[in-house]
Amino acid sequence: MDSLRLGSIKLEGQGNSEESERAYPRDFSSQGCFTDKAAYGRRRAFCARVGRGIHAREIRILRISVIGCGYVGLVTGACFAEIGHDVTCTDNDESKIVTLRAGKLPIYEPHLDALVTKNVREGRLHFMSNPGEAVRSSEAVFICVGTPPLENGDADLSAIDNVARMIATEGGSPKLVVEKSTVPAQTGQELKRALGVYSRKSGANFTVASNPEFLREGTAVTDFLHPDRIVIGVDDDTAAKKLREIYAPILDRKFKCPAHQDKCPAAAAPVFVTTTVNSAELIKHASNSFLAVKISFANALADMCDQLGADVQEVTAAVGMDPRIGPQFLQAGLGFGGFCLPKDVQAFIRLAERVGIDFTLLKAAEQVNRQRVELLLAKARKALWVLKGKKIGLLGLAFKPNTDDIRFSPAIEAAKRFIAEGATLHAFDPQAMEKTRKALPQILLAKNPYEAVKDADAAIVATEWDEFRNLDWKRVYNEMARPLVIDARNFLNPAEMKALGFEYYSFGR
Ligand code: UGA
């Protein structure tokens, strides 16, 4: 594998893309290494199942514990198990462990269900409510706990502090502790210090590394197995070597891809980027913040297009053809939501303030984003005149398609605002109904999209699910009291909608 050092940053990889066009058979490197007899036994059983001898080329199997069974932790744990490691996932929410042990997932994420079931069945993936036990028996611990925003926008790092205390007091032997949760720069330093303080009595030694994730909900499994880069922030070569070993099957593409049936789409091989811990932490925040700026730029551009009679999609399509800009994350509409971009932007702004930098660019991106729901209401008011007493069919609740996640969802924010203005709202989402029912019982949920829009004065498309694109829109037209559609995600075809007879509005088109 090629390796390149730029200043203190080290890059490896960038193989040719032809290789990726086939599915990669699982293959094992020669240094088989087992931490105990049980692991050896499991490996032997595994090798027998995949039809290889134990002395065939082996990957080094590591015993890994993953703390936190949220989106990141579950995907990380299941994918590490899938590429051959022995993984134990733990969570302080006992009910999650009970659910997982019963063979159910607490979240919806494409491919994850099958991956968890298979790896539990094959003995590489375990769920445990006792974090101490999980950590004691592992060489590497991945921290994947939540870092939600505090009132002031700072990331709440108390869960990381609690985990540090637990690892230090219960971990026993030396281990590699990897922060995967999104955290502000310098958290690694604090984590290292905390581990030192909390392990004062036990005297155990811990190495801290940062390994930010770039998974997108809805495509997290494929993102994990086919990353464009794997970033690790380390203080020494031993930690780098261990992380390189953990990711070896992905870097060398030696695994059978569970997400793509025959062959994986062509792509360059992942780059293994080694940096300092501080830089790795910053890379994650900078990536999410840049994406947020890009989206807000497209949204501000859409508002210009509305005023100037241009079409934002024509504009962004041509702008994005410049390889220096790129076509992605220029989709205008209701703005960015979810548990990552909004909180990471806020935390980055706060971090900048703390070190005396006024990151006005980010503040503006955040402000543009906050105005999107308000703009939707303004469009609805303009079309419907008075919102009070009007019936609105809301299509979409999740913050984006292919997930059931409604955290900081612009669709939910819009729903709350319409209800507050006295409108009656009937909503439908292909996956997010259960979570909405629990979190916001005041939103009336329909059985299907047609029921949501029945006798409605307006239909609002708030999440761009394929299911909505493929609706029988003629039927929707017939069901509605007034055939008015506000496409807050700019994903339906305006000409087709108008040809069907709809009064159709979107953002900047
Ligand atoms: C985001 C990043 O894309 C991941 O790389 C990162 O790992 C993850 O956060 C994280 O920090 O864990 P995610 O929150 O799953 O991933 O979703 P995105 O696909 O980034 O979308 C975020 C929001 O932006 C959604 O509400 C989406 O609808 C919106 N968006 C996205 C737009 O409004 N326009 C676009 O062009 C793209």
Q: Closest ligand 1 atom, CA of 71?
A: 12
Q: For 208-235, what is the mean pLDDT?
A: 96
For residues 261 and 345, the model is more confident at: 345
Query: What is the whole-number distance in angstroms between the Cα of residue 291 and the centre of ligand 1?
Result: 8
Q: Is the CB of 295 under 6 A from ligand 1?
A: yes
pLDDT at 446 over 90: yes
3-state SS, 204-261, equals CCEEEEECCCCCCCCCHHHHHHCCCEEEEECCCHHHHHHHHHHHHHHHCCCCCCCCCC
Q: Is the CB of 179 under 6 A from ligand 1?
A: no
Percent of the chain clearing pLDDT 90 (strictly above): 79
CA dist 122 and 111 (Å) reads 17
For 301, residues 6+ apart whose C-beta sits below 8 A from its C-beta are 312, 315, 316, 332, 508
Residue 325's SS3 state is coil
Determine if residue 329 is left, alpha or beta; phi over 0 gives left, psi from -120 to 50 gives alpha, anything else beta. Answer: left
- Residue 306 has φ and ψ, to the nearest 5°, of -55, -40
pLDDT at 200: 85
Tell which one of 291, 296, 375 to mutate to probe ligand 1, the residue whose CB is within 8 A of the most ligand atoms: 291
Laid out side by side, the sheet with 63-67 consists of 3-6, 9-12, 271-275, 229-233, 206-210, 175-179, 140-143, 63-67, 86-90, 125-128
pLDDT one-digit tens code per residue, 262-297? 788 888 889 999 999 999 999 999 999 999 999 999
Kindly state the tokens that stand for 374.
């308000």
pLDDT at 14: 53
Percent of the chain clearing pLDDT 70 (strictly above): 89
pLDDT at 498: 97
pLDDT at 16 over 50: no
Q: How far is CA 456 from the centre of its chain?
A: 34
- Residue 424 has φ and ψ, to the nearest 5°, of -95, 130
pLDDT category at 18 given cuts 50, 70, 90 is very low
Q: For 154-183, what is the mean pLDDT?
A: 92
**Residue with CA nearest ligand 1 atom 36:** 329
pLDDT at 445 over 70: yes
Q: For 80-96, what is the mean pLDDT?
A: 96
Q: For 305-327, what is the mean pLDDT?
A: 97
pLDDT at 254: 86
Type of residue at 160: I
Q: Closest ligand 1 atom, CA of 463?
A: 28
**Residue with CA nearest ligand 1 atom 2:** 216
Tell me which range, 22-26, 35-39, 501-505, is most confidently predicted by mean pLDDT: 501-505
Q: Is the CB of 13 under 6 A from ligand 1?
A: no
For residues 371 and 16, the model is more confident at: 371
- Angle, nearest 10°, between helix axes 312-319 and 277-308? 140
pLDDT category at 203 given cuts 50, 70, 90 is confident
447-453 LR contacts (CB < 8 Å, sep 24+): 449/393, 449/395, 449/476, 450/475, 450/476, 450/479, 451/426, 452/393, 452/394, 452/395, 452/426, 452/427, 452/428, 453/393, 453/395, 453/426, 453/479, 453/480
pLDDT at 27: 36
Contact criterion met (CB below 8 Å) for 177 and 206: yes
Contact criterion met (CB below 8 Å) for 20 and 253: yes
**Kind of pairing between the strands at 391-395 and 458-461:** parallel
Contact criterion met (CB below 8 Å) for 9 and 231: no
276 CB-contact burial (10 Å; exposed 0-12 / middle 13-18 / buried 19+): middle
pLDDT category at 97 given cuts 50, 70, 90 is very high
pLDDT at 259 over 80: yes
pLDDT at 149: 87
Query: What is the whole-number distance in angstroms between the Cα of residue 198 and the centre of ligand 1?
Result: 36
Query: What is the whole-number distance in angstroms between the Cα of residue 286 and the centre of ligand 1?
Result: 13
Q: Is the CB of 368 under 6 A from ligand 1?
A: no
Kindly report the pTM of this predicted structure.
0.88
DSSP state of 145: -
DSSP state of 24: P
pLDDT one-digit tens code per residue, 372-409? 999 999 999 999 999 999 999 999 999 999 999 999 99
pLDDT at 26 over 90: no
What is the rounded average pLDDT for all residues in the chain? 89
Percent of the chain that is helix, strand, coil (3-state, to 5):
45, 15, 45
Q: For 10-18, what is the mean pLDDT?
A: 55
pLDDT at 198: 92
Q: For 318-337, what is the mean pLDDT?
A: 98
pLDDT at 84 over 80: yes
pLDDT at 45: 52
pLDDT at 102: 95
- Residue 480 has φ and ψ, to the nearest 5°, of -80, 150
For residues 31 and 484, the model is more confident at: 484
Q: Is the CB of 182 under 6 A from ligand 1?
A: yes
Q: Is the CB of 401 under 6 A from ligand 1?
A: no
Query: What is the whole-number distance in angstroms between the Cα of residue 369 and the centre of ligand 1?
Result: 13
* Start-end of H helices in 320-388: 341-354, 360-384
Active site residue ranges? 340
* Start-end of H helices in 385-472: 410-420, 433-439, 449-453, 466-469
Residue 283's SS3 state is helix
